[in-house]
Amino acid sequence: MTSCTLVLNADFNPLGVAPLSTINWKEAVKLMWLEQVDVLEYYKDWYVHSPSMTMQVPSVVVSRTYVKSSRSVKFNKTNLCIRDDHTCQYCLNPYGKSQLTMDHVLPRSKGGKTTWNNIVMACTRCNTLKGNKDKMKPAKEPQRPSLGEIVGKARRSPIAIPNENWVPYIGWNPKLITVSSPNNNIDEQGSLVL
């Protein structure tokens, strides 16, 4: 889930894109005080208070040092959904992440592994139909995606962000962005306790 503060690398690109690199405001304030990040943008109407001070919540921060990031893609359901275009690889219908399941092409009972080359996204109906049979074949043979493929596909998918001042930094198609205020999120609220 997206937290309220976007973290950029020293080159002003997001530290991560799939998922977008974010932290909660308490971590952002801590990093700011440790002088590890500089604040580029604040939330206009969002202040937090301690007994002795009031401060504005950072919306975008940038790391003072360049963080080398891994070029490999994490194997997880989010990235599998992005690789497979949020589409069931058997019936080719589009689904949301929560409606898709990880299907072993070669069933586990026959020694199939949980790897990029043996997992495809399937809707529950197709997954049930397939069961332990391996006669149903996915539309294409699953492969490990490159980071560029995942980042490119992620940026062509809809995204919800908590503040419009992230838009110039994330490199997304503006038509695919929904801005929804984090103030509805109780977990992000609270007093400034450091």
Rule CB under 5 A: which residues touch Zn ion? Answer: 88, 90-91, 123, 126
In the complex, least distance from residue 41 CB atom to Zn ion, rounded to whole angstroms = 42
Q: How many of the other CB atoms lie within 10 Å of CB of 25? A: 23
| Cβ atoms of residues 57 and 4 within 8 Å | yes
In the complex, least distance from residue 91 CB atom to Zn ion, rounded to whole angstroms: 3
Q: Which residues, in sequence order, are CB contacts of 59 under 8 Å at separation 6+?
A: 4, 5, 6, 41, 42, 43, 162, 163, 165, 166
C-alpha angle 66-78-25 in degrees, rounded to nearest 5: 50
| C-beta closer to Zn ion: residue 4 or 122 | 122
- The nearer residue to Zn ion, 90 or 169, going by C-beta atoms, is 90
Supply the minimum distance, in Å, between the C-beta of residue 123 and Zn ion: 3
Quote the least distance from Cβ 98 to Zn ion, whole Å.
15
Maximal C-alpha separation, the chain: 68
Q: In this complex, which beta carbon is closest to Zn ion, that of residue 91 or of residue 160?
A: 91
CA distance 59 to 115: 36
Q: Which is nearer to Zn ion, 57 or 82 (CB)?
A: 82
Q: Which is nearer to Zn ion, 68 or 133 (CB)?
A: 133
CB of 125 to Zn ion, least distance (A): 6
Query: Using DSSP, how many helices (H) and how many strands (E) does the chain show?
Result: 5, 8
